[in-house]
Amino acid sequence: MRSIKIVSLPGDGIGQEVVASAVQVIEKVAPKFDLEISIEEHLFGGCSYDAHGEMLTEETLAACKNADAVLLGAVGGPKWENLPHNKKPEAALLKLRKELGLYANIRPAKVFDALADASSLKKDIIQGTDFVVVRELTGGIYFGQPRGYDEEKGWNTMVYEKYEVERIARQAFELARKRGKKVTSIDKANVLEVSQFWRQIVHEVHKDYQDVVLNDMYVDNAAMQVVRNPKQFDVIVTSNLFGDIISDISGMITGSLGMLPSASLGDKYALYEPIHGSAPDIAGQNKANPLATLASVAMMFENTLDLPEAGKLIYSAIEDTLSKGYRTGDIKSEGCKLASTTEMTEQILTSLDAVK
Ligand SMILES: NC(=O)c1ccc[n+]([C@@H]2O[C@H](COP(=O)([O-])OP(=O)(O)OC[C@H]3O[C@@H](n4cnc5c(N)ncnc54)[C@H](O)[C@@H]3O)[C@@H](O)[C@H]2O)c1
Ligand SMILES: CC(C)[C@H](C(=O)O)[C@@H](O)C(=O)O
Ligand SMILES: [Mg+2]
């Protein structure tokens, strides 16, 4: 039996609810693949601040560095919104990503067949959509210096070093090789020098991947193209801020933000998290869609634990549950069986035993 240690960071708001669901699924799947998984929960974000006066304690950080993989819910919420900028839960999330060197954020946007009518967009536009946003996660305007604001002005700096663009471009080309062999690099090279630089480096890296088609797209057009014709995309590679925005837009394709998982990968560590936030508007009401987090767990089994079959099993259970008509409120449609977070989880657990 293989022993695996996972650190879970439920965080704030619905983070607590969706990670509770994920823990049950991990515990159900692990024995099927001869895994002994220990899940160690730590405080992170606003809840950690309330308990310890710090959003990310040294202890939590050390635990993450000592784990095979980290599973995160979400952080933030109105309670901590008025703290100084660098003390907010969101700043702690950036610190965690930086400390763990998680430069590649892989955000798949795949439309489940059963949900082709959950989006307000036309079914023939979204059905069959399957692309991945490869978002640079530890650089760009999120981290550039100088940054700050005073009474007269506010400022941030968007910087990319050559090695940062090279390594994220390689991730995207490697991924495209395993998929549809097409990369779209999204930038704002018509205005920003940093984007011109980005484009130049991506094209240099492309010389090593001539079997993959590369095209460039400006971010404003890309935002429109993602909802106009999402099937044109295979792998999207882009900077930290543009990737944040483009991936949330994908929520319109998949039916909800609650359907979008992610893997944040570096050379040493891996963290898995849904792309959505703590959803204060529905927190504590047992309404959150756990499927983005469960799909993140599937990615964890596929990547870090090298068990693609376990990942597939979770995806099949999601497909099965959706095809039986179970839906949380965010993806509900006429005639569906409206389910709470816990009911959805129970259905997934049942499906995990039923599907192959
Ligand atoms: N990774 C993270 O920890 C993360 C990501 C995004 C936002 N945030 C933080 O979360 C807080 C709230 O941010 P926001 O409201 O802009 O974005 P959000 O993603 O929390 O919510 C946006 C909308 O989507 C809905 N939604 C999101 N996830 C859902 C789910 N799983 N099931 C059903 N509905 C879901 C919410 O109810 C809300 O209406 C902020 O403090 C923000 O900074 C954290
Ligand atoms: C909360 C925030 C710092 C974060 C980001 O912008 O990266 C979130 O929006 C995300 O997409 O994970
Ligand atoms: Mg975001």
Please report the domains of the chain, with CATH numbers, ordered by start residue: 1-105+260-356 (3.40.718.10), 119-254 (3.40.718.10)
> Measuring CA to CA, which residue among 31, 56, 53 is closest to residue 271?
56
Least confident interval from 17-26, 77-86, 115-124: 115-124
Residue nearest to atom 4 of ligand 2 (CA): 90
3-state secondary structure labels for all residues of the chain: CEEEEEEEEEECCHHHHHHHHHHHHHHHHHHHHCEEEEEEECCCCHHHHHHHCCCCCHHHHHHHHCCCEEEEEECCCHHHCCCCHHHCHHHHHHHHHHHCCCCEEEEEEECCHHHCCCCCCCHHHHCCCEEEEEEECCCHHHCCCCCEECCCCEECCCCCCHHHHHHHHHHHHHHHHHCCCEEEEEECCCCCHHHHHHHHHHHHHHCCCCCCEEEEEEHHHHHHHHHHCHHHCCEEEECHHHHHHHHHHCHHHHCCHHHCCCEEECCCCEEECCCCCCCCCCCCCCCCCCHHHHHHHHHHHHCCCCCHHHHHHHHHHHHHHHHCCEECHHHCCCCCEECCHHHHHHHHHHHHHHCC
Interval between CA 17 and ligand 2 midpoint (Å): 19
State pLDDT tens for residues 125-173: 999 999 999 999 999 999 999 999 999 999 999 999 999 999 999 999 9
State pLDDT tens for residues 39-76: 999 999 999 999 999 999 999 999 999 999 999 999 99
> What share of the chain in percent tops pLDDT 70?
100
Interval between CA 106 and ligand 1 midpoint (Å): 18
**Residues tagged active-site:** 142, 188, 220, 244, 248
Res 352: pLDDT: 97
Whole-model pTM above 0.90? yes
The answer on whether 176 is annotated among ligand-binding residues is no
Query: Could you say which ligand is closest to the alpha carbon of residue 260?
Result: 1
Ligand 1 pocket test, pick from 95, 271, 276, 327 with the greatest ligand atom count within 8 Å of Cβ, gives 276
The per-residue pLDDT of the chain, averaged, comes to 97
Report ipTM for this prediction. Answer: 0.99
The answer on whether 144 is annotated among ligand-binding residues is no
Res 50: pLDDT: 97
Query: Could you say which ligand is closest to the alpha carbon of residue 251?
Result: 1
In the predicted structure, residue 118 carries a pLDDT above the cut 90:
no
Query: Could you say which ligand is closest to the alpha carbon of residue 284?
Result: 1
Query: pLDDT band for position 117 (50/70/90)?
Result: confident
Residue nearest to atom 6 of ligand 2 (CA): 244
In the predicted structure, residue 356 carries a pLDDT above the cut 70:
no
Give long-range contacts, CB 8 A cutoff, 24+ apart: 53-59.
55/87, 55/88, 55/89, 55/91, 55/92, 56/92, 56/95, 56/96
Q: How far is CA 35 from CA 21, 26, 29, 204, 356, in A?
A: 19, 10, 9, 42, 18
Q: Which residues surround ligand 3, an ion (CB under 5 A)?
A: 244
* Averaged pLDDT for residues 243-260: 95
Res 120: pLDDT: 83
The reply to whether ligand 1 has any atom less than 6 angstroms from the CB of 281 is yes
* Averaged pLDDT for residues 98-105: 98
Res 1: pLDDT: 85
Ligand 1 pocket test, pick from 278, 318, 344 with the greatest ligand atom count within 8 Å of Cβ, gives 278
- Give strand pairing partners of 217: 186
